[in-house]
Amino acid sequence: MYISYNLVVALASLVLVAGGCTTSQYTSHSPVTNDRDTREERELASADYRQEREQASAGYRHLSVYEIHDLPHMSILEKKRWGFIGHSTINHHYELKSIKGEDVVIDHATGLMWFPGTSKDKFRLVSRSRVQKSEYWFKKFRQTRYAGFNDWRMPTVEEAASLLEKSKNNAGLYIDPVFSGHNKIWTSDLDTTRERWRVNFKKGSVHTYVYELFYAYRPVRSITFPLAKEVEERKGFSSGTGFFVSNNGHILTNYHIVENATTITIKDISGNSYDAKYLKGDSANDVALLKIESNTKPLNILLYSDVEKGSEVFTLGFPLANLQGLEQKATFGRVNALSGSEDDVRFLQIDVPLQPGNSGGPLFNHTGSVVGITTSTLNQINTLKQSGMLPQNVNYAVKIGYIVPILRGITTVQNERLMKKPFTDLIKENESSVVMVIAK
């Protein structure tokens, strides 16, 4: 099997270590004079490599297959043959470039950029100039929002799944969960630990091959910025919107609203206040699950959404409460696209007007079923700088299908076939299930 993820990890040179760079422990050897010397050097290098791998792997919590299946937004695809599949389903577009005198190969189809991390010597003999170049690249990648992974072997399914855990810095590993336009990582499996990427810097091509143990090129992948945080932050608190998904107090909202909060308060449409408990969150898709101790009316969640481009949608929420007041607001619009910024398939693009405070609100279809969660709006300042124009009502909602994993174990109302009604009727039926979320 091989696996695809909504999370991308960039793979950096072996000479790079957590928190900075250092020279490789492999120093220059004398020229090989006979088979005995060759064997001794191989054995020495193998022992060093095993020690390094043990140190690098010590921080991993290997996930079982069952745990991997439970990770959100992850699909294990059928393995068609033995060995490494890699990018077999992707139509590559390679380009050879020279940046600062360093040859790199860019694959525009995947966003991967390849660069030589060590010398081409079998034993990875590292000169000082090569280390300095690696230091330069490492710093450059960090400045331009690349992430590093201190392991030159292609990750296994379990290891790649482990990278989805919260950001960690331990045991020689430098791992950053990041977002990307393609949201995929293609891995090997436990049968293919010796397979590597072969990069031809003369022709500008990349393919897999079984390499000797001491031959390493690392791929590096560019990323986009995380989800825009359209959160109302004033005097040490943030506010947004949430909605009930069970009859015993479970609430969905945006993760960024309650992130790092010490207290969370829920206000319903009648003005009643409740202390809420944070249960779990999914920062990648900006969704969190809360709970209050009360009987509640859940909204109908339409898992198998038939939302189409042009569909009418609306949301209920509490935008800019300190300016517009505490009354719940309804805003209306249409689905403009079935993907978000940079064609991110997790999102719907909508022209429903959203303001800070709308984040976390339900996106309803014409029957009053929830088909998404409002989460962000296109950054106007960045767009103005890049295009010279201000965007008009370019907003996004996470598709409800990407939120389902966080609801496991909770009894929710799902897929009820509701009748189309006027929006005025739908608002009256559902407004009591939409609440304000205040986090401090």
Q: How far apart (Å, rounded) are the C-alpha atoms in residues 112 and 90?
A: 12
pLDDT at 53: 41
Q: How far apart (Å, rounded) are the C-alpha atoms in residues 168 and 59?
A: 9
How do the domains of the chain map onto residue ranges?
2-221, 232-439
Q: Which of 364, 361, 239, 356 is nearest to 311 (CA)?
A: 364
pLDDT at 340: 81
pLDDT at 94: 61
pLDDT at 105: 57
- In our burial notation (b when 16+ CB lie closer than 10 A, e otherwise), range 179-208 reads bbbbbbbbbbbeebeebbbebebeebebeb
Q: How far apart (Å, rounded) are the C-alpha atoms in residues 410 and 430?
A: 20
pLDDT at 58: 37
Q: How far apart (Å, rounded) are the C-alpha atoms in residues 278 and 289?
A: 6
Task: Classify the C-alpha dihedral 284-407-429-270 as positive or negative.
Answer: negative
Maximum distance among all alpha carbons in the chain?
87
φ, ψ of residue 164 in degrees (nearest 5) = -80, -10
Distances (CA, A) of 14 to 160, 200, 218: 17, 19, 8
pLDDT at 19: 24
DSSP conformation class of 178: B
- Give the fold, CATH level 3, of 232-439: Thrombin, subunit H (2.40.10)
pLDDT at 304: 66
φ, ψ of residue 337 in degrees (nearest 5) = -155, 155
Q: How far apart (Å, rounded) are the C-alpha atoms in residues 179 and 10?
A: 11
* pLDDT block averages, 10 residues each, the chain of length 440: 29 24 27 48 52 40 42 40 31 61 56 46 35 47 36 39 37 28 33 44 54 33 30 58 95 91 93 94 88 94 80 92 82 91 83 88 94 73 44 79 84 78 94 95
φ, ψ of residue 341 in degrees (nearest 5) = -60, 135
pLDDT at 297: 95
